[in-house]
Structure 1
Amino acid sequence: MKWDFNSLIDRIMVSAEIGNISAALRRFAADCGFDHFAYLSIKPGGAYAISDYPQEWQRRYLREGYERLDPVVWRAQHTALPFQWSMGKDRKSLPREKRAFVDQAAEHGIRSGLSIPLPDGFGRRAILSFASARQPDGKYETPDANEAFVAASLIHAFITVHDSRGEPARSPCLTPQEKLCLRWKAEGKKNHEIAQILQVKASTVRWSLDAAREKLNAVTLPQATAIATALRLI
């Protein structure tokens, strides 16, 4: 197996659309002996992915929030280096819910692979993975960490700019009033000023902001406005 990240970078550099990036990753995965690729970004409202995993598995993964069970996601949160993984490894020692996840992944042809963690801002990680339907006979040839990180970072930047699929698959559902209050808060308005603008009570503004903050899984209102802005909710 030869990790030719230079050729992958060449293909990405001439990619004008997400479809072209996907095609480049699909070809790279095949050239390296893998069956699938997956780019996964974990956001406060959930996760979104660009992948050639089976569509049924992608829909189930995003709908059920399987990133909370995925051992690959867990490991990516705890290392900055590319790592190999096998879904069947230590299966018996896993809790029942995680064993079920591993079994479902295997049923969809995802048994082993190699992943590259990427910083995604605010302590979050994105992950670029190459997966195989087979359990490895031995270890994969580990790519040069610097070359892998450069190529994966470029892919991450292109996907972020292209804003894959518009929004994360499970964006928080804010009410129109919560969005308005959060938008005015982002503009620097105080609660009583927002109340005057919207012609509502100050307590209504406070409740709306608190509700939006909780939905966005934010600790503070400035963090909530930053998340909502990044998700294009306001």
Structure 2
Amino acid sequence: MDADLRSLIDMAEAAHDERMIKSALKSFAISSGFERFAYLQTAGAEIRTFNSYPVGWQDIYLVSQYSRIDPVVTEAKRRMQMFSWTADDWPARGNSELKRFRDQAIEYGIRSGVTIPVEGSFGSTMMLTFASSEKKADISKLQDRQKAIQAVMAIHYRLKIIAAATIVAPKRLLSPREAVCLMWAAKGKNGPETAMLTGINARTVQHYLDSARRKLEAATVPQLVAIAKDHGLV
């Protein structure tokens, strides 16, 4: 799992659009035994969310302002350290708003998971959650707290950079693997070195670089790196 977290961090830092970050998070979630992910940033009553939860649940959550009572958000702000949770521990009786929240979350497949909170600037909190529809999620593969925090920070800052970046034509967008190989090339690594660092076959690394060259209309890898830097892709 240490290698998977490292890969998630690398892919987040190499991403040049939200689609790539979402793809990296989805892959990590599935490989770790989860079904969904949610990145949430809170600052006072304001929230920003970036997730793979069902659209129906996202609408209910935002319209009902559930971040006010969400036990996961509350616990994240209180503890400021990685923790596991299960909706079965939340209040299950009566007609309270919290019970409605619990019942709706379970209905949409958000029943258990693990959350990594990080304190931000100006009273803000960033948190990354991986969720499962199971009664109790298996978190045995998510134990490296330090790398988990690094992943949250990488995603947070990359999203900020992406928001301010120049828009690139869709046909020139790189895939997550192309971007990772490009990032290592920009750091001076050759094909075999990149293969060793990423666990990707050397010939496949070359395939990703060739594909990236075609998309950015570069004749060589050094030219590819230069063009990517000009477009803010690395």
TM class by smaller structure: 0.5 to 0.7
More divergent stretch after superposition (86-95 vs 63-72): 86-95
Question: Which AA in structure 1 matches 2:151?
Answer: A
Q: Is the 8 A contact 1:80 1:117 kept in 2?
A: yes
Q: Is the 8 A contact 2:29 2:36 kept in 1?
A: yes
Q: Indicate the residue corresponding to 1:26 in structure 2.
A: 26
Q: Indicate the residue corresponding to 1:114 in structure 2.
A: 114
Shift of residue 45 of structure 1?
5.3
**1:137-156 correspondence runs (5 A):** 140-156=140-156
Spell out, residue by residue over 1:145-192, the C-alpha distance to the aligned partner (whole angstroms, 9 max, x if none): 11111111111111223239xxxxxxxxxxxxxxxxxxxxxxxxxxxx
94 and 42 in structure 1: CA distance in 2 versus 1, 3 angstrom threshold: farther
More divergent stretch after superposition (139-148 vs 6-15): 139-148
Count residues in correspondence: 163
Q: What SS does the aligned partner of 1:151 have?
A: helix
Where does structure 2 lack aligned partners over 5 or more consecutive residues? Answer: 165-234
Spell out, residue by residue over 1:116-155, the C-alpha distance to the aligned partner (whole angstroms, 9 max, x if none): 0012212221110000011117664552111111111111
The answer to whether 1:136 aligns with 2:164 is no
Where does structure 1 lack aligned partners over 5 or more consecutive residues? Answer: 165-234
142 and 32 in structure 1: CA distance in 2 versus 1, 3 angstrom threshold: closer
Question: Which AA in structure 2 matches 1:34?
Answer: F
The answer to whether 1:12 aligns with 2:29 is no
**1:158-173 correspondence runs (5 A):** 158-163=158-163
Aligned-residue identity in percent:
34
Give me the TM-score of the superposition, normalised by structure 1.
Answer: 0.64
Q: Indicate the residue corresponding to 2:82 in structure 1.
A: 82
Question: Which AA in structure 1 matches 2:122?
Answer: F
Q: Is the 8 A contact 1:84 1:140 kept in 2?
A: no
Q: Is the 8 A contact 2:61 2:67 kept in 1?
A: yes
17 and 119 in structure 1: CA distance in 2 versus 1, 3 angstrom threshold: same
Q: Indicate the residue corresponding to 1:71 in structure 2.
A: 71
Q: What SS does the aligned partner of 1:16 have?
A: coil
Distance 2:76 2:54 in 1: 22
Shift of residue 62 of structure 1?
1.3
Q: What SS does the aligned partner of 1:85 have?
A: strand
Q: What SS does the aligned partner of 1:48 have?
A: strand
Larger radius of gyration: 1
- Which segments of structure 1 move beyond 6 Å, counting only runs of 4 or more? none
138 and 153 in structure 1: CA distance in 2 versus 1, 3 angstrom threshold: closer
In angstroms, what is the RMSD of aligned CA positions? 2.1
Q: What SS does the aligned partner of 1:152 have?
A: helix
More divergent stretch after superposition (131-140 vs 28-37): 131-140
148 and 22 in structure 1: CA distance in 2 versus 1, 3 angstrom threshold: same
Q: Which structure: greater helix fraction?
A: 2
